[in-house]
Every structure is written in C-alpha cells, then in structure tokens.
Amino acid sequence: MIKCCNYICLLYLLFGIGKFTVYAQEIEPRQEINIDDLGDVSDEFLENFFEALKQKAITNYDKAINALNKCVEINPEPKYLYLELGKNYLELKQHEIAEENFKKALESKPDNRFILELLFEVYFHQQKYKESIGVVEKLVKYNSMFKEQLANLYYHDKRYDEALTLIDELDEEYGSDGYRKQLRKRISSKIKNPSGQISRLEKKIKEKPKSEQNYLNLIYLYSQNNEDEKAYQTAQALLKKNPKSELVHLALYKFYIEDNSKTEQAIQSMKIALKSNKIDKDSKYKVISDFLIFIEKHPQYESQLVEAVSILSSEQDNAKVFTELGHHYYKKGDKEKALNFYERGIKNSTGNFSLLKRVLLLQLDLKRYTKAEIGSQFALEMFPAQPIFYLVNGVSLIHLDRPNDAIDILSSGIDYIIEDPKMEADFYKQMGEAYLKLGDAAKSSEYLEKSNQLQKKS
C-alpha cells in the first residue's frame, strides 16, 4: 500500500497583494483503499488497479493514470477509481482534471473528509476561493481548526465580520496564538466601520464578563478605530473584573507610557507582561522594544530595564530580545554591555553573519582574545570564504603569543580578499606584527611597507 500524508492547506494573504503560502498540518492518517473495498470486479480490473497503485508508489503518475483508465473502460462505476485518478492528476499539477475526478468520487460520498481535503487542495492551487469556502465549511464539522482556513477564505472573499467571528471562536476554544493575532490584524485593517464587531464584542462581554479574550479583542478594535479612551476604559474594566489578569498589561503599559504621569504604572505593567507565562515571546520582544524607546526619552529609568531583563534571563530562546538590547547599548557606545547582550543573543543565532562579526570585533576591541580566537575559528567553519574572520583569528593569535599560527591563518585568508585594499592592508599589517613577535625584523618591515602602500591607495 502507498503511504499518504494528510495535508491541509492554510491560506494566507500576504502583504495584501494576493500572494499565498501553503502550510502542511497533519491531522490524522489518511486511509487507502484495501482489497475489501474494491467490490466484485474482474481479474483484469484488479490487475490494472494494483498496477496503478504500484506505479503511483514509485511516482510514475502517467503510467498509473493509464492503468486506471483501463479500469474505467472495464467498469466505470466504482467511484474510488476517480479518487485515485484525481490523486495522480494532482501530483502532476493538472488541477482541473483532478477537480473533475474528485467531484465524481464525491458523488457517492459527498461528506467524505479525505476527498473534501483533496478537493480543497485543488481549489487552493486554482485560486478558486468561493468554491473552497463551500468545501471548508463542510470540513469544519470534522475539526474546528479548519475554522482557521475558513477565516482566511472569508478574508479573501471580503467577508471580514464572519472571518473575525471565527477567529474569536477559535480564541475562546484554544486560546490566542501568534498566527491568529496576525490574521486578526490583517482583517481589522480592512474593516472601514468596526461598529458591528464592537457591538458584538460588547454583547459577548456582558454574556461572559470573565472572558479575558473578548476584552482584549475589544481593546484592539477600539485602538484600531482611534478610540483610545474607550480602549483604556475597557482595559480598566478587565482589570477590575479580573485583578490577576496578566494579558491586560500588554495593553495597559502602552496607555501608561503615553500618560507621562503614570510612568511607574507603565514600568510595573511591563514587568508583569515580561514575567507572564501566558504571553508569547514575540509580544515580550515588543514590550522590550517599547521599553527601549521609553528609556531613550527617560534615561533615569535605565536601572528598571536591567531589572526587566533579569526577568527574561531565566527563560530560554530570548536571542531576539538580547540582540535588541545589544543594539541599544552599542548605539550608546557602552561596548561592555553591548557585548554582554550580544553574546547571550548569539547563542541561538550563530548563523547570523552580521551579528557574529560584530561580536568578534567587540571582543577584539575589549581585548577578549581567547574568546575572539575560539569564536573566529567557529565562524570560519560556517563562513570559510569570509576574510574578516581570518583577520580576527590572526589578530587574536598574535595577542595570545602564537605568531606562527597567526601567519598561517592570515596567509590563508588573504586569498579570499576581492578588491578591498583597506582589508588587504590590515592583513599585511598584522603579518608584519606577527613577524616582529618572531624577531624577524626584515620580514616585518616588508609586510608593514606593503600595508602602508595599500593604505595610501585606499
């Protein structure tokens, strides 16, 4: 039997210009046809059918289609033939023919989840969004997570209120997540008059006054509609109803920051948000980013930033936050703090060339030669054609009293320099320094002179 994964297309509208991405999500294994399902058919039919399965298994889709068509000539009644034909045409990206066959297969099983998913995939590839809606509306009864696909489709069909209603239902059932937050923003940005959605959420809050998510969604809509005072009042209402709410502080700290008389409340709200296990890392990153902007205007509160960062230090995967903090202190010229945060941030971003380069140059600048030597060796394994890392390694080795090793690495790295006389001059200067350490004054003078000549040209 062929192995088959169950793919569900998640439809995204990116940047508002109609570009879409397909995401795969395995819900449950699909079942293939077994011999008991074939019915009373002839030996010739069976031979061709199993030949089709064999050819599909080895990706000979054209041959599989030929074998299935022979089955159809023998007996056109079994609907599973059209399911198999559809799958093969789908693999060949012949979507219109695949669609025709899946529709035939559905005639006897109009609510078959497996066939409906395949038909949805075909519609997706053909950008038949209205047809997709009809299929996904049937699929929702099998798994409520299909509502995400349906919300995407409603969005593309400009049925914004229905899309937001589905997202609200999912948030209530599963809790909010990053994907649905982004989808909500895209949908809300298209709504010219959100009064209908606002009324619906106000009604839901009256029905379920302890549901945090409804308050948060309403705060967002008010903010999008430039009704900041109503958004703030809604946040205060949530805090009054649920004094232990942590999510509300994602909204409150912004209101407090804008009110210069509530600086202490702003900082306290930011700390609560950063400590919360209910708030995702991207949102915490946004809190830190806003905190940094706040400190640019109120530098007297920088110690509070350090305290806030200590909250995050115990968590894993905060590379983005630490890197942003490194940028903050780098711009201020505080190299020690910048390097400290960069080193913490790069642990999960070792493939980031620009960040790796900055870390190594700061380590040299601050005379951390052992770290720079080890780090540049690692960098060369990842980026073996980048001369800057040979140079950092060579400089580190010179300061670690390993001039012979320095000359070897610098001699290797200089071959990767392309039309960069300044860097070439730096290489020759360091080679001159290395030979000077070895006591070879003649060689040292030769390379230093080469460096001087190149510096004059550059």
Among 109, 127, 157, give the residue marking a domain's end.
157
One domain for residues 168 and 256: no
Q: Where are the alpha helices (DSSP H) in 260-418?
A: 263-275, 281-297, 302-313, 319-332, 335-345, 353-365, 369-382, 387-399, 403-413
One domain for residues 28 and 150: yes
Domain presence at residue 406: yes
One domain for residues 345 and 277: yes
Among 142, 157, 172, give the residue marking a domain's end.
157
One domain for residues 307 and 444: no
Contacts of 293 (CB under 8 A, 6+ apart): none
One domain for residues 13 and 110: yes
- CA dihedral 43→45→49→50, nearest 10 degrees, is 10
Quick one: which of 162, 165, 116, 142 has its CA closest to 9? 116
Domain presence at residue 222: yes
- The pLDDT of residue 12: 30
- The pLDDT of residue 9: 33
Bridge partner list, 19: 14
Per DSSP, 21 falls in state -
Domain presence at residue 362: no
**Cα dihedral sign, 308-309-314-318:** positive
Long-range contacts of 300-308 (CB under 8 A, 24+ apart): 301/263, 301/267, 304/267, 307/271, 308/267, 308/270, 308/271, 308/274
Long-range contacts of 200-206 (CB under 8 A, 24+ apart): 200/161, 200/165, 201/168, 204/168
**Cα distances (angstroms) measured from residue 236 to each of 192, 219, 242, 265:** 26, 10, 10, 13
- The pLDDT of residue 181: 83
Distance of CA 425 to the CA centre of its chain: 41
One domain for residues 201 and 52: no
- The pLDDT of residue 317: 56
Domain presence at residue 359: no
Contacts of 17 (CB under 8 A, 6+ apart): none
* pLDDT per residue of the chain (458 residues) written in tens, 0 to 9: 222 333 223 223 222 223 333 333 333 334 455 555 677 778 898 899 999 999 999 999 999 999 999 999 999 988 899 999 999 999 999 999 999 999 999 998 898 999 999 999 999 888 888 899 999 999 998 888 899 999 999 998 889 889 988 988 888 888 777 788 888 888 888 877 788 888 888 888 888 888 888 898 889 888 878 888 999 999 999 999 999 999 899 899 989 988 878 888 988 998 898 888 888 777 888 888 888 888 888 888 888 877 777 766 555 556 777 888 889 889 889 999 999 989 988 877 778 899 999 999 999 999 999 999 999 999 999 999 999 999 999 999 999 999 999 999 999 999 999 989 999 999 999 999 999 999 999 999 999 999 999 888 76
Provide the token pair at 345: 């941030």
- The pLDDT of residue 32: 55
Q: Residue 183 in 3-state DSSP?
A: helix
- The pLDDT of residue 180: 87
Output the domain CATH number for residue 394: 1.25.40.10
User: With contact defined as beta carbons under 8 Å apart, do 236 and 251 qualify?
Assistant: no
Q: DSSP letters of 77-114?
A: --THHHHHHHHHHHHTT-HHHHHHHHHHHHTT-TT-HH
What's the rounded Cα separation, in Å, for the pair 123 and 121? 5
- The pLDDT of residue 304: 81
What's the rounded Cα separation, in Å, for the pair 406 and 397? 5
Q: Residue 14 in 3-state DSSP?
A: strand
Domain presence at residue 360: no
Domain presence at residue 354: no
Q: What amino acid is encoded at 332 in this protein?
A: K
Domain presence at residue 1: yes
One domain for residues 127 and 3: yes
Distance of CA 39 to the CA centre of its chain: 48
Contacts of 411 (CB under 8 A, 6+ apart): 431
One domain for residues 371 and 403: yes
Domain presence at residue 358: no
This prediction has a pTM of 0.58
Provide the token pair at 127: 């950008």
Per DSSP, 19 falls in state B
One domain for residues 428 and 331: no
One domain for residues 191 and 302: no
Domain that holds residue 418: 367-458
Among 244, 262, 294, give the residue marking a domain's end.
244
User: Backbone dihedral region of 30: left (phi > 0), alpha (psi from -120 to 50 degrees) or beta?
Assistant: beta
Q: Residue 179: how many CA atoms within 13 Å on its side-chain side?
A: 15
Q: Residue 330 in 3-state DSSP?
A: helix
Quick one: which of 377, 328, 375, 373 has its CA closest to 347? 375
Tally of domains within the chain: 4
One domain for residues 10 and 135: yes
One domain for residues 21 and 145: yes
User: With contact defined as beta carbons under 8 Å apart, do 387 and 417 qualify?
Assistant: yes
Output the domain CATH number for residue 335: 1.25.40
C-alpha gyration radius of the chain = 32
